[in-house]
Amino acid sequence: MKFVLLFLLSIITSRAQSTYSIDALTGRGDLILIGNEFKLQKEAHDAFNKMQAEASKEGIRIKIISSYRSYNQQKSIWNRKYSYLISTGLNSHQAILKVIEYSTLPGTSRHHWGTDIDIVDEAVTIPRYSLVSRNYESKGVFENLKKWMDSNAEKFGFYLVYTNNSERKGFKYEPWHYSYRSLSKKMLEEFLNVNQDILLKDTSLKGINSINQEFISKYFLDQVLDINSSLK
């Protein structure tokens, strides 16, 4: 009984000290963002500018191609990919498993937080399909960018989210996706307190009838939490 009371107290205390609203954590608004084409929270934005300036001294021109993404933007990506996969003959369950190799359920994307970025190097010719891991490997067009980020990104507070670890579950390796840790770590902690049922209420989300609480629980363990340990 004492343990239960302490557990409930910890939840109440955690929620009382929350910095971000549910809307902010799930991409539905209520975040203060700055930037023109690509938006971030101010602290992350300023840190990125410093990193970008330092990289430019070595001929690396870091370009953000995705940063803040709203719930509706993520839903559009989800619905488009799901519809395409269904058109190829996959059933709903198969399509969903394929989508979540790289794309998140709307409401769960780290891009909702204004802390995460997808990057390329505009000092080279950017290929049509830029966010492909081979582009960041040896002899890939973004090889120099990746080497520089490996050596310097964490100095500016940016950490690779989905690492190249064969034992890691969830989303596949994304050498382009970095997170500004000092903000995103706190947001992840608060996001884990959000009632997961909120993810099951959008009837306009394609495949929603194939998504249940069991799926959501596994999704949180694998996709949401099996990330770079430095970000947890």
pLDDT at 9 > cutoff 80? no
In a domain, 50, yes or no: yes
Q: What is the pLDDT of residues 133-178, one digit of tens each?
A: 999 999 999 999 999 999 999 999 999 999 999 999 999 999 999 9
Residue 4 lies in a domain: no
On whether residue 216 sits in a domain, the answer given is yes
**Residue 51's domain is classified under what CATH number?**
3.30.1380.10
User: For the chain, what is the domain count?
Assistant: 1
pLDDT at 2 over 60: no
Q: Please report whether residue 184 resides in a domain.
A: yes
Q: What is the pLDDT of residues 40-66, one digit of tens each?
A: 999 999 999 999 999 999 999 999 999
pLDDT at 3 over 80: no
Domain membership of residue 157 (yes or no) is: yes
What local confidence, expressed as pLDDT, does residue 18 receive? Answer: 78
What percentage of the chain carries pLDDT values higher than 70?
A: 93
For residue 167, being part of any structural domain is answered with yes
| Residue 21 lies in domain | 17-231
Domain assignment of residue 94, yes or no: yes
pLDDT of 200-211, one tens digit each? Answer: 999 999 999 999
Per-residue pLDDT band at 17 (split at 50, 70, 90): low
| pTM score of the predicted model | 0.91
pLDDT at 4 over 80: no
Report yes or no on 89 lying in a domain.
Answer: yes
Alpha-carbon distance 135 to 184, whole Å?
26
